[in-house]
Amino acid sequence: MLICLAAGRASGAPVELVVAADGSAKYKTVQEAVMAVPAGTADSPVVIRIKPGTYKEIVYVQREKRFFRFVGEDASKTVITYDLNANIKGVDGKPIGTFRTPSVQIDADDFTAENVTFENSAGPVGQALALRVDGDRVVFRNCRFLGWQDTILLNRGRQYFENCYIAGHVDFIFGAATAFFERCHIHALRDGYLTAASTPDDQPYGFVFSHCRVTAETSEVKTYLGRPWRAYSAVTFLNTEMAEAVRPEGWHNWNFPEREKTVRYAEYGTEGPGAKTAARVPWARRLTKAEAKAITPERVLAGADGWNPKTGKFNSNKTRKG
């Protein structure tokens, strides 16, 4: 019945579902709502409105469920959380590992979330993902991501983060995707590394942070901007305010000195006590004004289909198949 209703709705009319943890709406969990309808379309997205509350559940947005939107009212009051970590044993008696720990996993393309917190509440016990993204053209606005080690895994595709808050301490933004973070707040809870990009060598961009802010939990915390999970790791910070917690050398080679020749680490216009670029490692670049000006969300995330993360428009004839 739900499938028929979705298929028969007027073009441009979104399907809207409401979730309330207190039971006041049709759906009490986010996953129930995700499973209730098939994919949306660019003209008729599926909008899941999540009422304030704490939703302790694992949420999985399957590959076929394109054009889904999670919309909360206030990120500080709308929290999706779970507490898996890599050391928990699975049914085979072996640790489940990092990649099976996310509280929320997005495999679908064209997903958007607004005003929602994604949390892994396991604490400082090792790898524990709040979010894993394998979808392409994925957008997060006014969201919070809370964890410790490996808070968010951007495994593939392209993602755009705007006005988001991300907390952790070791490699808490990591993966092979191309992602642009605009006006985001990156918060280090303990000594560690903000990023661990595994950018493929044929991918021009990895993680770009523009007009962001880097802070720390206490004045004793010291953090690196990143370390290379793979040899061609690419991370750029543009016009970002950095607290004293950022180590003067800025970057770490993960004890692979040969990667210093291949990583693509760069800064431009960074400010604050942590932006002591004169003391940065010699294998990180200082961009020119012209180079920095060319690094925009539209250019970084365009891909083959010309995706514009601000408008959501793209050429559907050039999207991935299957």
Question: Helix or strand or coil: residue 173?
Answer: strand
Q: Which amino acid is at 163?
A: N
- The parent domain of residue 104 ranges over 1-156
Count the domains in the chain. 2
Q: Whole-angstrom Cα distance, residue 85 to residue 17?
A: 31
Instruction: Give yes or no: 134 in active site.
Output: no
pLDDT (mean) for 159-170: 99
Which residues is 236 bridged to in the sheet? 208, 266
Judge whether 126 and 105 are in contact, CB under 8 Å: no
pLDDT (mean) for 1-15: 52
pLDDT of residue 6: 38
Instruction: Give yes or no: 22 in active site.
Output: no
How wide is the angle at C-alpha 125 spanned by C-alphas 191 and 52, nearest 5°?
A: 95
25, two tokens: 């709406």
pLDDT (mean) for 183-203: 99
Question: Helix or strand or coil: residue 300?
Answer: helix
Locate tokens 């370390």: which residue?
227
Whether residues 106 and 218 fall in one domain: no
Whether residues 113 and 14 fall in one domain: yes
Whether residues 196 and 264 fall in one domain: yes
Whether residues 174 and 147 fall in one domain: no
What is the full DSSP assignment across 36-87?
HS----SSS-EEEEE-SEEEES-EEE-TT--SEEEEES-TTTEEEEE---TT
Judge whether 242 and 272 are in contact, CB under 8 Å: yes
pLDDT of residue 1: 30
pLDDT of residue 316: 83
Residue 176 lies in a domain: yes
Whether residues 136 and 187 fall in one domain: no
pLDDT(317) > 90? no
DSSP assignment letter at 19: E
What is the full DSSP assignment across 174-226?
EESSEEEEES-EEEEEEEEEEEEE---TT-S--EEEES-EEEESSTT--EEEE
More reliable by pLDDT, 182 or 13: 182
Judge whether 270 and 236 are in contact, CB under 8 Å: no
Considering the chain, what percentage of its residues have pLDDT values greater than 90? 93
Whether residues 80 and 183 fall in one domain: no
Among 156, 177, 192, where does a domain finish?
Answer: 156
* Residues 30-47 pLDDT 10s: 999 999 999 999 999 999
Number of H helices, E strands in the chain: 4, 24
Residue 320 lies in a domain: no
Whether residues 38 and 118 fall in one domain: yes
Judge whether 295 and 208 are in contact, CB under 8 Å: yes
Among 130, 156, 182, where does a domain finish?
Answer: 156
* Residues 67-82 pLDDT 10s: 999 999 999 999 999 9
List 134, 136, 150, 191, catalytic entry: 150
pLDDT of residue 276: 84
Whether residues 132 and 181 fall in one domain: no
pLDDT (mean) for 286-295: 98
112, two tokens: 């958007």
List 109, 134, 136, 171, catalytic entry: 171
211, two tokens: 């007009």
